[in-house]
Chains A and B, each alone.
Chain A
């Protein structure tokens, strides 16, 4: 049967396509972790970079101060050397009064000693107005230097000389309060590899010292001339960043006192920032590891979260599919994430469940209607049966009464005219009609048992058995029967129907022990399948077990009518009563050795109230 969809719940809305939660959760967590790692790494890097830069700046400034101190001492020494030379007797004599003889002495004096020979490339004596008087070594650059150092003496500018740098140191030659000339020494800028190492150790690895002139045109790294290491720097004495040929540097430039020189100390930014970069690398490495672990954890978490969701979704989809009659679920997982799918599946399932419920209700209503119809039919059938029984009761007996009555009339009125055989025949007619009367009565009783309502109560079976046997004893006081009744046997059932059953069972026992000397009848109970099985036992005629199955059918008799009277309905009545109680009845026996009839009043597992 079909149930129309109510509007508005026919199809669950299709959610927009989205990444599954299983992916989204790790992505969100991973993204957050990445941001945290990046921010933390950057902050740490920046802090370390600032700290490194500050340390480098301080170190550069300190190094510059120390080197300047050394240079100052050097300049003082150079000045002293030049002044000592200017004070030389031969030189002074030649300067005051030049002569060929004195020139030779003066030139000898100008020649440097063993200690200075490596450094001093040339020396000269010039007159106060700049004319050369005497010289030692190559004085081709004379003209330049007379101007540079002229007049006042002191240290002159740096100048390139081949593959090295030279500078001049001049001192005035004074005599009698007047300057007679100047002594000029040209010195090659030189330092041993050892002293450079010492300097480098002083200022730290990566740092470089340069000496240049204040114009910035000439630079030396103390070993030889070099190209300008950085873009031009004012000798401000502050550390600043600057660009050089080989990258960015931190640099400080300071003028060297009493000279036209500039001291430049540089350190590559790469060196300064190396610890920060190392820190950043380490931090990034740790960050990547943390990120990886976080992603894994998030993946596992999302799996553990979405696993049950997915299972639930599958179940719900399967349920919905089942409710839809085995059709595959509508586009499983199309679009949306797990939650959307779950919601969709639930919605589908809910619709199906509602449909199923409606269908069920409709079916129940239908069944109820059918049952009501059947009940009406049953009531009608019962009414018919009632009418039939009523008719039987009235109409079948009336002819029997006529047959019996008029036979008796014949016997009474015409006895003289009848011979013995005729009288016997009439007696047989009477007996037969009376027997048929009994049959009709028993049939009606059986029919009534089928129709009667059951009223269930607690029944004292022992007391009932005592009453029935007492009646039997009263009906035949001449008989001697040993009756044993177990005390306190009770059961739930209809007292009237159970009395009928016991009347028949005990009546049978009574009847079939009629020819047994020392007749015994016993009523008791035994356990059978966990429920009490009551029994009526006698030591009477018994029966052949071969026919045990026929015992409980109506009008089935195992004994010839002449031997024991009865209609054969009694056990059918017992069977009817016990069956209506939900119980079972069966018999055991042997010919000539008695019979035992068992019955239970509940189904073996119990719990069913028969009404």
Chain B
């Protein structure tokens, strides 16, 4: 079973603040784990030589595409390429509305693609709907057994 946590992969602190605020203002009370780049996100999910992986998987990953070190599409590819996280819901949340980003995101197995609006009111509304859908309405896949 998932913890009901949200993994927010986002490098821009303003966006982190605003996203957290939007989620909070929409009564989304689930834990939000923030990863500031792709490496941090992968460490959280799979662990590293120094830190172990998180014991439980998040309910949903909100993934920005333009990230330092390892970019969002590569993080997505690694998530889908690992048996443990193969079915983990991933929502791409990004500024880009380039067709090739959208297509590449879906090709790599994103569950959803949401473009961040400039208007904060609209952004907050989108965050609310995302939380509602992925945390309450959507039935998450059963968690795989940890080895």
Interface on A for B, CB 8 Å cutoff? 389-390, 393-395, 397-398, 400-402, 404-409, 430, 433-434, 436-437, 441, 444, 448
Additional A-B contacts beyond A405-B120, A407-B120 (4; CB < 8 A):
A393-B97, A402-B12, A404-B119, A406-B14
From B21, B96, B99, A409 is in contact (CB under 8 Å) with: B21
A402 touches B14 (CB 8 A): yes
B95 touches A397 (CB 8 A): yes
B98 touches A437 (CB 8 A): no
Which A residues touch B12, using CB under 8 A?
Answer: 398, 402
Q: Would you give the shortest CB distance from A406 to chain B, in whole angstroms?
A: 7
Which B residues touch A406, using CB under 8 A?
Answer: 14, 18
B96 touches A404 (CB 8 A): no
* Prevailing SS type, chain A contact patch: helix
Tell whether A393 pairs with B118 under 8 Å between CB atoms, given A405-B14, A405-B18.
Answer: no
1/0 per residue B80-105: CB within 8 Å of A?
Answer: 00000000000000111111010000
User: Chain B: how many interface residues by the 8 Å CB criterion?
Assistant: 21
Bound together, the chains give a CA A389 to CA B98 distance in angstroms of: 9
A408 touches B96 (CB 8 A): no
Residue of B15, B117, B118 most packed against chain A (CB within 10 A): B118
Please give me the residue from chain A that is nearest to B25 by CB atom.
A412
- The yes or no answer to B121 lying at the interface (CB within 8 A) is yes
Which B residues touch A395, using CB under 8 A?
Answer: 66, 95
From B18, B66, B97, B98, A401 is in contact (CB under 8 Å) with: B18
Which A residues touch B101, using CB under 8 A?
Answer: 390
Please give me the residue from chain B that is nearest to A411 by CB atom.
B120
A398 touches B95 (CB 8 A): yes
Q: Would you give the shortest CB distance from A447 to chain B, in whole angstroms?
A: 11
Q: Would you give the shortest CB distance from B104 to chain A, in whole angstroms?
A: 12
> Would you list 30 pairs from A and B whose C-beta atoms are within 8 A, ordered by A residue?
A393-B95, A393-B96, A393-B97, A393-B98, A394-B66, A394-B96, A395-B66, A397-B118, A398-B14, A398-B95, A400-B118, A401-B18, A401-B118, A401-B120, A402-B12, A402-B18, A404-B118, A404-B119, A404-B120, A405-B14, A405-B18, A406-B18, A407-B120, A408-B121, A430-B120, A434-B118, A434-B119, A436-B118, A437-B118, A448-B99
B118 touches A433 (CB 8 A): yes
Q: Would you give the shortest CB distance from A401 to chain B, in whole angstroms?
A: 5
Which A residues touch B96, using CB under 8 A?
Answer: 390, 393-394
Q: Would you give the shortest CB distance from B11 to chain A, in whole angstroms?
A: 10
From A390, A398, A434, A437, B15 is in contact (CB under 8 Å) with: A398
Please give me the residue from chain B that is nearest to A412 by CB atom.
B25
Which A residues touch B119, using CB under 8 A?
Answer: 404, 430, 434, 437
A401 touches B21 (CB 8 A): no
A394 touches B94 (CB 8 A): yes
- The yes or no answer to B106 lying at the interface (CB within 8 A) is no
Which B residues touch A433, using CB under 8 A?
Answer: 118
A401 touches B94 (CB 8 A): no
- The yes or no answer to B123 lying at the interface (CB within 8 A) is yes
Bound together, the chains give a CA A389 to CA B97 distance in angstroms of: 11
B120 touches A408 (CB 8 A): yes
Please give me the residue from chain B that is nearest to A445 by CB atom.
B97
Which A residues touch B65, using CB under 8 A?
Answer: 394
Bound together, the chains give a CA A436 to CA B118 distance in angstroms of: 9
Q: Would you give the shortest CB distance from B56 to chain A, in whole angstroms?
A: 31
Bound together, the chains give a CA A397 to CA B123 distance in angstroms of: 13
Which B residues touch A404, using CB under 8 A?
Answer: 118-120
Q: Would you give the shortest CB distance from B78 to chain A, in whole angstroms?
A: 21
- The yes or no answer to B44 lying at the interface (CB within 8 A) is no
Residue of B117, B119, B123 most packed against chain A (CB within 10 A): B119
1/0 per residue B32-49: CB within 8 Å of A?
Answer: 000000000000000000
Please give me the residue from chain A that is nearest to B14 by CB atom.
A402
Please give me the residue from chain A that is nearest to B101 by CB atom.
A390
Bound together, the chains give a CA A393 to CA B101 distance in angstroms of: 11
Bound together, the chains give a CA A593 to CA B120 distance in angstroms of: 40
B14 touches A390 (CB 8 A): no
Bound together, the chains give a CA A157 to CA B18 distance in angstroms of: 179
State which residues 34-82 of B face A: CB under 8 Å: 65-66
| Shortest beta-carbon contacts, A-B, top 4 | A437-B118, A402-B14, A405-B120, A405-B18
1/0 per residue B114-131: CB within 8 Å of A?
Answer: 001111110100000000
Q: Would you give the shortest CB distance from B106 to chain A, in whole angstroms?
A: 18
Residue of B14, B95, B99 most packed against chain A (CB within 10 A): B95
Bound together, the chains give a CA A114 to CA B52 distance in angstroms of: 194
Q: Would you give the shortest CB distance from A254 to chain B, in whole angstroms?
A: 140
Please give me the residue from chain B that is nearest to A431 by CB atom.
B119
Tell whether A401 pairs with B14 under 8 Å between CB atoms, given A393-B95, A393-B96.
Answer: yes
Bound together, the chains give a CA A409 to CA B24 distance in angstroms of: 13
Bound together, the chains give a CA A475 to CA B99 distance in angstroms of: 25
Which A residues touch B117, using CB under 8 A?
Answer: 401, 437
Which B residues touch A430, using CB under 8 A?
Answer: 119-120
A390 touches B21 (CB 8 A): no
Tell whether A390 pairs with B98 under 8 Å between CB atoms, given A398-B12, A402-B18, A406-B14.
Answer: yes
Which A residues touch B123, using CB under 8 A?
Answer: 401, 405
Which B residues touch A402, using CB under 8 A?
Answer: 12, 14-15, 18
